[in-house]
Amino acid sequence: MKLNGRPFLYVPLGKILLLLSCFAPLLSFCQTDVLILQKEGRNIKTYAPGQHIIFETIYEQWFDGTLTDLRNDSVFINGIPFHYNEIKTMRVEREKLNYIQDGTFLIIAGVGVLVLNTVNGLYRKDKPAEWFSTTGWITAGALILGGILLRRARTRTFPLGKKYGLHYLEIHSYKPNPVAHPPGDSTQPKE
């Protein structure tokens, strides 16, 4: 077949895609290791590279960042390596609700109830002792307290020890086969 006077090679697109899909596994990356936070043997959260992580080290320093890599029992946070045994406390952020914003709205609403009672008392020219009723105090207090508790409930802290454990699970495929590479230095010539 010729196209514009030159020979044209016709290959169906399906065959090209089939050939490329055969080479895709050679170019893809294998699974990486994972870090598992457990409570009495049950999984609470599993961490893999690319996820957000917050923890405290045994040196009492808090680190917050992206888990960039897991290899050789090391946890890399934003490129900084830590051995997973150096982690003393894990902190998990709850993500289903917007805890900070909703808690702030509740606090503002509670303060708003107090301001509204004050403005109404001034408008009615009541004595300052009569500006606030019992229901106003209870409503404002409940809203402010609920907002504070909601803001604090955003994170949960897990101290590692008896109840909570952190386990490093190796599932990578770049580990050498022990049968193919027996222990010892096999590169030295035998005498």
Residue pair 132/117 in contact (Cβ under 8 Å)? The answer is: yes
Distance in angstroms (rounded) separating the CA atoms of residues 32 and 171: 6
| pLDDT for res 174 | 55
Q: Has residue 92 got a pLDDT over 60?
A: yes
pTM recorded for the entire structure: 0.58
Calculate mean pLDDT across residues 42-68. Answer: 89
CA triplet 137, 143, 144: central angle to 5 degrees? 90
Residue pair 74/81 in contact (Cβ under 8 Å)? The answer is: yes
| pLDDT for res 109 | 92
**How does the average pLDDT of the chain come out, rounded?**
79
Q: Has residue 108 got a pLDDT over 50?
A: yes
Query: CA-CA distances (angstroms) from residue 8 to 1, 18, 20, 37, 124?
Result: 6, 21, 21, 59, 93
The pLDDT confidence band at residue 7, using thresholds 50, 70 and 90, is low
Calculate mean pLDDT across residues 164-172. Answer: 82
> How do residues 77-89 score in pLDDT, each as one tens digit?
988 898 888 889 9
| pLDDT for res 166 | 87
Q: Has residue 96 got a pLDDT over 50?
A: yes
Q: Has residue 4 got a pLDDT over 80?
A: no
Q: What are the residues facing 155 on neighbouring strands?
A: 93
Residue pair 131/118 in contact (Cβ under 8 Å)? The answer is: yes
Q: Has residue 180 got a pLDDT over 70?
A: no
